[in-house]
Amino acid sequence: MTSHFANILSMTTTTNPKVGSKAPKFKTEDQNGEIKTLEDYKGKWLLLYFYPKDLTPGCTTQACTLEDNISKLKKLNVEVVGVSCDDAKKHQKFIEKHSLSFTLLADTKQELVNKYGVWVEKSMYGKKYMGIQRDSFLINPEGIIAKHYIKVKPEAHAAEVIEDVKKFSKE
């Protein structure tokens, strides 16, 4: 007999997909209620970035820094897609408040965060809880993970991605 806790534990002990492997497929609703899949981005670089929560300081810094660099990213054929467990309505508020032009996926059932291994145990003020680790995956136009960014620094992430795409495009 499997307990409910064991089921939850098995869902939260996933590992990250490896660099050089196929990116895990997804089928998830965006901020407009439209279904987005990994296949939608085939032929382009995809920065799939995971962040803890809409409208919080670190997540806002990360999103706005990416938005400030969106034209450079687009010139390099990079699509930016953010993922959190917030719902589509909250994503819309986040997009409107900060004039974001890229897609945010509403992973309300925690399917993507588990597939990508970013749903982890965290700790704040000595209290442990489950949440999203601020990681990103740079996926090449063929759907292969080119780079895994671990515990991203929000203010520096866009520049790092631009540099990496330029480097990978030369290889």
Residues 86 and 164: their CA atoms lie apart, in Å, by 29
For 6, 83, 121, the CA distances from 80, given in Å and listed in that order, are 35, 10, 26
Pairing of the two strands 136-139 and 145-149: antiparallel
For 57, 58, 82, the CA distances from 61, given in Å and listed in that order, are 6, 5, 13
Residues 127 and 134: their CA atoms lie apart, in Å, by 19
User: Quick check: 149 and 138 in contact, CB under 8 A?
Assistant: yes
Alpha-helix runs per DSSP H in 56-87: 57-68, 70-75
User: Quick check: 75 and 60 in contact, CB under 8 A?
Assistant: no
Selecting among 59, 80, 138, 139, the annotated active-site residue is 59
Whether 59 is catalytic: yes
Q: Which two tokens stand for residue 117?
A: 């291994």
Positions marked catalytic: 59
